[in-house]
Homo-oligomer: A and B are copies of this chain.
Amino acid sequence: MHADAPAYAALERTFARLSALNGASGILGWDAQTQMPDGAAEGRADQVAVLRGLAHEILTGPAVADRLAEAGTEVLAPEQRANLAEMARSYRHAAAVPQDLVEASSRAVSRCEMTWRSARADSDFARLRPELAEVLRLQREIGAAKGAALGLAPYDALLDGYDPGMRRATIDPLFAELRAWLPGMIAAIRERQAAGVQPVPPEGPFPVETQRAVGLRLMEALGFDFARGRLDISLHPFCGGATDDVRITTRYDAGDYARALMGVLHETGHALYEQGRPTAWRHQPAGEARGMTLHESQSLIVEMQACRSEAFFDYLAPLLREAFGRSGPAWEAENLHRLATRVEPGFIRVDADEATYPAHILLRYELETALIAGDLAVADLPGAFNDGVRALLGLAVPNDRLGCLQDIHWPGGAWGYFPTYTLGALAAAQLFAAAKAAAPDLLPGLTRGDFAPLRDWLRAWVHARASLADTDTILAEATGRPLGTAAFRAHIEARYLG
């Protein structure tokens, strides 16, 4: 095929180089969070900026543009055509934004992230405000530039950078449905849990080495390939690294084993997606994970759908008792499962349970779309944020540290990212329901720590498809219908009100 398609073949070579460059950036990013001494931060920022600058140069250079046009006229196999489409998408996103805007935004984000750390610590929104306004101004410019090139509204253009093909027109009705029934559902669950058996937290301390050993054992059970990945420690858990080198992190609290463990399970879900991408395409755009909705669905299928099921706690409880050398009522499967499925509105998004989490996202989505549209001023953000928390979660935000200063996304220039968390939760519920229907041994397997039925299904229907199809197609073929809220609602009802 390549002999007849010289332009396409040349593009494959260029994108393989870009994949290597991005892999290098991924390892440097992992290192910065896990290994790097403090004094190296400035030099590391330079290194990553140079790598990203070179990748942008290569991607937007005339060689790529000309060959994309030529390759469009070449005879290609269907998968090559899908790859070419992804190449073109990457090119259009990159070429849409002038280099000086990329650099201005990158500098503004670096400054704003730095200020954010201290502003959050001191709960001082006023300190962040001018720099956040500058980041927003540049995001709006980027959204406008990408939107013009891609034929999209600015917010959709930003969103498309994280989740190709996702649009406000898809999100708005889904989120409207959630908004309609979620607050009532949360109230019903809270009432039910208040009236039911109260769970007892197991008493610590839980040695960090034991927590790590348990995490590694579960990663192995889940099918994480340690020849192509690692588990380390960082302040904020993440899944990073490079192709064939997938590195996840967690953080340990000697007083609470569940936080690190659930972090490991969540990130292992992301990692299985990365490790399950098709080998033949792993250095090409079509071999990349499809987008953040499907990525988050994979972490939540593991963490929330599989590993907070009653079935899984039949496996987990004795494993924990043995590992920590403990026993008693607090260590019974039923009690541990009750603890892991406790619903309680709180201020902090990353600490939220699966029922209240969407409320945090509905609010952020509403605010960031308004900010990008120019319908909300940065100065009015704290008030709007606090009003939203009161309306959606019934809580009075006492300070901005527990309010609009809690997340790095906005100062960090990740606008259009938030909705994918909840879209991922919807997709996870829908995919897990389909997997259970297709693999009757899935839930029984979990009682023995056997994740093979789930993993094999996900590998075939999601991981191996990578970016060879779009999110809609992957979801529709895997579950028989487009993304909706029904499966998520059914899941929440079954688990919490069943």
Q: How far is the CB of A351 from chain B (nearest CB, A)?
A: 30
Residues of B within 8 A of A44 (CB): 242, 245
Complex formed: what's the CA distance from A31 to B30 in Å? 11
Whether B28 and A43, one on each chain, are in contact in the complex, defined by CB atoms closer than 8 angstroms, is: no
Residues of B within 8 A of A37 (CB): 226-230, 245
Is residue A17 contacting chain B, with contact meaning CB distance below 8 A?
yes
From A24, which residue of chain B is reached at the shortest CB distance? B47
Whether A20 and B47, one on each chain, are in contact in the complex, defined by CB atoms closer than 8 angstroms, is: yes
Residues of B within 8 A of A4 (CB): none
Is residue A73 contacting chain B, with contact meaning CB distance below 8 A?
no
Complex formed: what's the CA distance from A283 to B50 in Å? 13
Residues of B within 8 A of A256 (CB): none
Residues of B within 8 A of A17 (CB): 50
Q: How far is the CB of A22 from chain B (nearest CB, A)?
A: 9
Complex formed: what's the CA distance from A39 to B247 in Å? 13
Copies in the complex: 2
From A242, which residue of chain B is reached at the shortest CB distance? B43
Is residue A38 contacting chain B, with contact meaning CB distance below 8 A?
yes
Complex formed: what's the CA distance from A38 to B230 in Å? 11
Complex formed: what's the CA distance from A136 to B228 in Å? 34
Is residue A51 contacting chain B, with contact meaning CB distance below 8 A?
yes
From A23, which residue of chain B is reached at the shortest CB distance? B47
Interface positions of A from 358 to 405, Cβ below 8 Å from B: none
Q: Is the interface of A mostly helix, strand, loop or mixed?
A: helix
Interface positions of A from 31 to 51, Cβ below 8 Å from B: 31, 35-40, 42-44, 46-51
Contact with B along A197-234 (1 / 0, CB 8 A): 00000000000000000000000000001111110000
Whether B39 and A244, one on each chain, are in contact in the complex, defined by CB atoms closer than 8 angstroms, is: yes
- Which of A43, A44, A54 has the most CB atoms of chain B within a 10 A radius of its CB? A43
Complex formed: what's the CA distance from A51 to B227 in Å? 24
Contact with B along A112-155 (1 / 0, CB 8 A): 00000000000000000000000000000000000000000000
With A27-B47, A31-B31, A54-B54 in contact, do A39 and B230 touch (Cβ < 8 Å)? no
Complex formed: what's the CA distance from A21 to B57 in Å? 15
Is residue A471 contacting chain B, with contact meaning CB distance below 8 A?
no
With A39-B225, A245-B36 in contact, do A49 and B28 touch (Cβ < 8 Å)? no
Interface positions of A from 227 to 264, Cβ below 8 Å from B: 227-230, 242-245
Beyond A21-B51, A27-B47, A39-B227, 12 additional pairs, beta carbon < 8 A:
A21-B50, A23-B43, A23-B47, A24-B28, A24-B48, A27-B31, A28-B28, A35-B35, A39-B245, A40-B242, A43-B243, A54-B54
The 4 A-B residue pairs with the shortest CB-CB distance, nearest first, are A40-B245, A39-B228, A39-B227, A20-B50
15 CB contacts below 8 A, A to B, read: A17-B50, A20-B47, A21-B50, A24-B28, A24-B47, A24-B50, A27-B31, A35-B230, A37-B227, A37-B228, A37-B230, A38-B227, A39-B227, A43-B245, A44-B242
